[in-house]
A and B are shown apart, each in its own frame.
Chain A
Amino acid sequence: MGNFLTGSGWGIAALQSLLYVALAPLLVGWLRKVKARLQNRRGPSLLQPYRDLYKLLAKEARVAHTTSPLFRAAPYIVFTATWMAAATVPLLVVDLPTAAIADIIVLVGLLALARVFLALAGMDVGTAFGGMGASREMLIGALAEPAMLMAVFTLAMTAHSTNLSSVIDHHLSDGFVLRPSYLFALGGLVLVAIAETGRIPVDNPTTHLELTMVHEAMLLEYSGRHLALMEWAAQLKLLLYGTLIVNVFFPWGIGQGLSPAALGLGLAAVVGKLAVLAAVLAVGETVLAKMRLFRAPAFLNLALLLSLLGLLSHVILEVGA
C-alpha cells in the first residue's frame, strides 16, 4: 500500500465512489435487458433506470400525515450508508485510501445500518404493509448476516487481513490457486447477495403483490425524491455485491497503480465481469421460481452451511497444521 494518502489517491477514490453511483442504474438496466431477451421480449432501453430516477427526482415528494421526521430522514441515511459501504469496495484499483480506512466488517456494519433505517421507515408510516415488509426484511437480514460474516472470515483467514484491498492483493499475488474454501465462500456469498439484494428466489423486485413483496412493501408510502433515493440505494447495493463477488473471487484485471492505463483496464475488466455476472443472474432468475417466504430460512441456512464449510475446509485442507 504505497500510494495511498496522496492527493491523487483521494482523487481516484472520490472518482470511484462517483462511478458507483453512476454505474448502479446501468447494471440494473442491463439485468432487465438480458432478462427481457430471455423471455423473448425486447425490453426497455439500458438507460431506462436513469430516466426513472430523473422522473422521480423531478416530482414532488408527498409525505403521509402519520409519519415522524425519521421517515423523511431515512432515504438520505439509507442512501449515504449504502454509498459509503460501496466506497470501501475496490472497483477500479486496489490500495485506495477509502479501502485503508474501512474493512469488510465495517462494510457489513454499514449495510446493517442501512437495513435498520429502511425497516424503521417501513414501520414508521403505520400501514400494515410497511410493518410486514420490515419484519420480513429483518428475518432475512438476521439470517443472511452470519452467513456473510462467515464467508468474510474465510477470506480473511486466507489473506490474514480483513481489509478488502489486502485480500485482493493476496489473491492476485498468489496467481491461480484452486482453493476449496474460496469455492464455498463464493457459493455462500452469492446466496447471501441474492437474498440481500432481493432478487428472485427470495424476493421479486418487480412485484407489488401484497402477499409476497419484501423490499417494495417498505417503500410503498414513499414518493418523489425520497423514492428515487431508496431505489437508487437498492441499485447501489446490487452493484456493491456484484463488485464484491467479481473483484474478490476473480480479481484479474483490476488496476494496481494509479496510471490512466491501469484505471482504463480496471474499468473495462470490471464492466466486463459485472456484465457476465448479471447475465448469469438473469438466467438464474428466469429458470427459478420465487420460493415461499418460509423457505427463505432454509435457503439462508444453506448459505451459512456453505460459508461454514469454507471456514472448515480452510482449516482442514489448506492449513493442515
Chain B
Amino acid sequence: MNLTLLPLLQQLLLVLAAIVLFLSFVLLAQVRLISAIHAFAWQGALVAAVTAVVAATGQVHHLYFSAALTLALKALLIPWMLHRLTRRLNLERHTESLQSPALVTMGAVALVIFSYWLVLPMIHAEMTFTRNIIAISLSVVLIGLLMMVFRTQAVAQVLGFMSMENGLFLAAVSATDGMPLVVELGVAFDVLVAMVLFGVFFLQLRDSIDSLDVDRLNRLRETGGDSQ
C-alpha cells in the first residue's frame, strides 16, 4: 500500500487514528485526574471523528449516527459525569504518584508492537486501508487494560476501562464498517449504566476506606468488637 496514493481524507483518518493512540499514552501517564479526564474526552471526540471520516469515505450513512452518539456520550456526557464526581469527591487537585512511569510507558510501546504482530496476518489477508487501524485499536484496548492494572486510583481505572471501550469501538468501525445499530445502541447504554454504577461505587469506596486508592483494599484491617 502506498500512502501517497490515498485520497487526503483517508490520510486524515490515519492521522486521527495515530492521535487516538497517542492519547492512550497520555492517559496512561497523566497524574492529574482532571487532565486525564480531558484527555479521555479528546480521545472520545477523535474516535467520533474517525467514525465520521469512515462514514464519509465509505458512504456508510448509519455510521454518521454512531459518530454523533460517540461524540455525545464519550466526549461530552461521560467526561462531564466524571468531572462532577471528582469535584464532589474533592479530587480536583489530586495527583497520583506513579511508580516508574517511564518503564510502564515502554511496556505500553511493547504492547503496541505486540498487537501489530498479532494483527499482521489479518492485514496480509485483505488490503483495505482501514485494516491498518485494527492494530492501533487493539493497542488502545491493551493500553487501557495496562492502565487498569497499573493505576491505583479508582477514577483512573475507570478511565482505563472506558478507553478500552473506545478501542473496541474503533476496531469495529475500522474492520467492519461498524456494528449494527441495535448492537451499538446497546453498547452505548451499557457504558452509560456502567458509568452510573461506577459513580455509586466511588461513593461507597470513599465511605468505607476514606480514599479512592484501591491499593488500600489489599491491606488487612482489624475490625469488629474486641480486637480494637
Contacts and interface: CB of A to CB of B under 8 A. Distances in A.
Interface of A: 174-181, 183-184, 297-298, 301, 305-306, 308-309, 312-313, 315-321
Contact of B21 (A175, A176, A309): A309
A253 to B, nearest CB: 20
A318 B3 contact: yes
B109 A318 contact: no
Contacts of B15: 178-180, 183
A301 B18 CA distance: 19
Contacts of B17: 180, 317
Contact of A180 (B18, B112, B123, B131): B18
Main secondary structure of the interface of B (DSSP, over half): helix
A308 to B, nearest CB: 6
B113 interface: yes
Contact of A301 (B102, B116, B135): B102
A306 B8 CA distance: 23
B123 A320 contact: yes
B18 A178 contact: no
A177 B4 contact: yes
Contacts of B1: 319-320
B25 to A, nearest CB: 6
A155 to B, nearest CB: 14
B133 interface: yes
Nearest to A177: B4
Given A183-B15, A309-B25, 18 more contacts: A176-B8, A178-B8, A178-B15, A179-B3, A180-B14, A180-B15, A183-B19, A184-B22, A301-B102, A309-B18, A313-B21, A316-B116, A316-B136, A317-B14, A317-B133, A319-B1, A320-B129, A321-B124
A297 B100 CA distance: 12
B198 to A, nearest CB: 29
Interface of B: 1, 3-4, 8, 11-12, 14-15, 17-19, 21-22, 25, 101-102, 105, 109, 112-113, 116, 120, 123-124, 127, 129, 131-133, 135-136
Given A174-B4, A301-B102, A316-B135, A321 B120 contact: yes
A315 B131 CA distance: 13
B22 A309 contact: yes
A284 B132 CA distance: 35
Contact of B14 (A308, A312, A318): A318
6 contacts: A177-B3, A179-B11, A305-B109, A309-B109, A317-B3, A321-B123
A65 B130 CA distance: 68
Contacts of B11: 177-179
Contacts of A309: 18, 21-22, 25, 109, 112
Contacts of A308: 109
A316 B120 CA distance: 9
A39 B171 CA distance: 48
B112 A312 contact: yes
Contacts of A318: 3, 14
Contacts of B116: 312, 315-316
Nearest to A176: B8
A178 B12 contact: yes
Contacts of A312: 109, 112-113, 116
A316 B117 CA distance: 10
- Nearest 5 pairs between A and B by C-beta? A180-B18, A178-B11, A320-B132, A313-B18, A320-B1
A184 B129 contact: no
Contacts of B8: 176, 178
Nearest to A301: B102
A168 B1 CA distance: 22
A317 B109 contact: no
Contacts of A321: 120, 123-124
Contacts of A175: 4
Contacts of A179: 3, 11, 15
A305 B132 CA distance: 20
Contacts of B3: 177, 179, 317-318
Contacts of B127: 320
A301 B1 CA distance: 32
A320 B131 contact: yes
Q: Which of B1, B18, B133 has the most CB of A within 10 A?
A: B18
Contacts of B105: 301, 305
B22 to A, nearest CB: 6
Nearest to A310: B18
B111 to A, nearest CB: 11
Given A184-B18, A312-B116, A316-B132, A305 B25 contact: yes
A178 B14 contact: yes
A222 B99 CA distance: 42
Contacts of B19: 180, 183
A7 B25 CA distance: 51
